[in-house]
Amino acid sequence: MARPLVGILASNHLAEDSYEVQMVGQRTIEAVGQVAGCMPLLIPGLPESVDIADLVATLDGLVLPGARANVHPAYYGEELTEAHGVMDEARDALGQPLIRALIERGVPIFGLCRGIQEMNVAFGGTLWTEVGDLPGRHRHRMPAGCKDPDIIFELREHVRLRPGGAVARIVGAENIITNSLHGQAIRDPGERVIVEGWAADGTIEAISIRGAQSFAIGVQWHPEHDAASDPPSRALFQAFGDAAREVQARRQSIAA
């Protein structure tokens, strides 16, 4: 039987400093294919080239991966400033309505880093521009100028999970250690957003979506980096894959 089809939303990238491409990190593709056990399909963040209705009718799941660009502040009622950083307006224009459409259809969604922010904004939430500048918070970014992946993705962020919550149930623990590579973070949770985890400084690190009929989880870290061997990361991707298989089976039963 064919594996469930899972879309991975790509981001704009300037290759060789000269031409635009759509990019997804290889670790994300491997996590979907090898740990979740699904067929990864890269979705270009180009709303003029991709039809949301076609995606809703086709996908068994969606991963929203991290990216350099931030969610455009216009989606949560702020003016764009230099402090907001780089934007990817095309990805936002596709991703925001696609998130809501898939949630309503009961298709699983897994948001990674930028992805948790996209999910929060899609349901009316807001973001901090740089959480490390807030009183009492620490910097959640990777070491400046570092090129060593083992250091960049080192497990250094202690995250407390909501007892009995969606994420805690999946990983089988209420305290985990994750990597930390972000500047922006959730400020005000969206209307349907349930906070599932916090860093030691109170920064929101995990969410789920209230009323979702399937897996609908966002995490502020990068579980794709070590998805095969890090127990919490593996558990999350396996649960996401199981949810995608349930959607695939549902589609097939309807078609039969």
**Residue 114 structural domain:** 5-255
Are the beta carbons of 82 and 59 closer than 8 angstroms?
Answer: no
Question: For the residues 200-215, what does the mean pLDDT come to?
Answer: 97
pLDDT band at 231 (very low <50, low <70, confident <90, very high): very high
Question: For the residues 162-183, what does the mean pLDDT come to?
Answer: 96
Active site residue 78: no
CA distance 27 to 38: 14
Residue 242 scores a pLDDT above 80: yes
pTM given for the model: 0.96
Annotated active-site residue in 157, 222, 225, 246: 222
Angle between helices 89-105 and 114-122 (to 10 degrees): 70
Domain count of the chain? 1
| % of residues, the chain, pLDDT over 90 | 82
- Helix spans in the chain (H): 26-30, 52-58, 89-105, 114-122, 149-152, 166-171, 231-255
Per-residue pLDDT at 17: 85
Write the CATH number for 120. Answer: 3.40.50.880
pLDDT 10s digits, 65-124: 999 899 999 999 999 998 898 899 999 999 999 999 999 999 999 999 999 999 999 999
Annotated active-site residue in 113, 157, 225, 246: 113
Annotated active-site residue in 118, 196, 205, 224: 224
Q: Residue 153 corresponds to which amino acid? A: F
Structure tokens at 166: 């969606």
CA distances (Å), origin 154, targets 25, 142, 159, 227? 17, 9, 14, 13
Active site residue 38: no
Active site residue 224: yes
Phi/psi for 108 (5° steps) reads -65, 145
Question: For the residues 182-207, what does the mean pLDDT come to?
Answer: 96
